[in-house]
Copies of this chain bind each other. A is one copy, B any other.
Amino acid sequence: MAGEPEERREKRFSRRRLLGAAGIASAGAVVGGALGATRGPGSSSDDSGASAVLASAALSFYGVHQAGIATPAQDRMVFAAFDVTASNAGELREMLDRWTVASAAMAAGRQVADTEAEPLAPPEDTGEAVGLPAAQLTVTVGFGPSLFDSRFGLSSRRPAKLVELPHFAGDQLDPQRSGGDICIQACANDPQVAFHAVRNLARLGRGTAALRWLQLGFGRTSSTSTSQGTPRNLFGFKDGTNNIKAEDTAAMRDFVWVGTDSDQAWMAGGSYLVARRINMHIETWDRDSLRDQEDVFGRVKLTGAPLGMGHEFDTVDLAAGNPDGTMVVPANAHIRLAAAASNGGARILRRGYSFTDGISEVTGDLEAGLFFICYQNDPERQFIALQKQLAANDALNEYIVHTGSGIFACPGGIAEGRSWSSPLFD
Contact = CB atoms under 8 A, between A and B. Distances in A.
Report, as a range, how many residues of chain A touch the other chain. Answer: 35 or more
A235 to B, nearest CB: 7
A357 interface: yes
A56 B49 contact: no
A310 B129 CA distance: 21
A322 B5 contact: yes
Contacts of A191: 76, 191, 218-219
- Give the number of copies in the complex: 2
A340 interface: no
Contacts of A356: 78, 195, 214, 216
A291 B119 contact: yes
A167 interface: no
Contact of A47 (B13, B15, B52, B215): B52
B232 A322 contact: no
A324 interface: yes
Interface string A29-43: 000000000000000
A218 B192 contact: yes
Given A49-B49, A119-B290, A122-B290, 20 more contacts: A11-B300, A13-B300, A13-B302, A18-B302, A45-B190, A47-B133, A49-B50, A117-B302, A121-B289, A122-B286, A122-B287, A122-B289, A125-B236, A127-B301, A128-B235, A130-B232, A130-B236, A130-B302, A212-B359, A214-B356
Interface of A: 1, 3-5, 7-8, 11-13, 15, 18, 44-53, 56, 76, 78, 117-123, 125-133, 135, 176, 190-192, 195, 199, 202-203, 206, 210-216, 218-219, 229, 232-237, 282-283, 286-295, 300-303, 305, 307-310, 322-324, 328, 354, 356-359, 361, 364, 366, 368
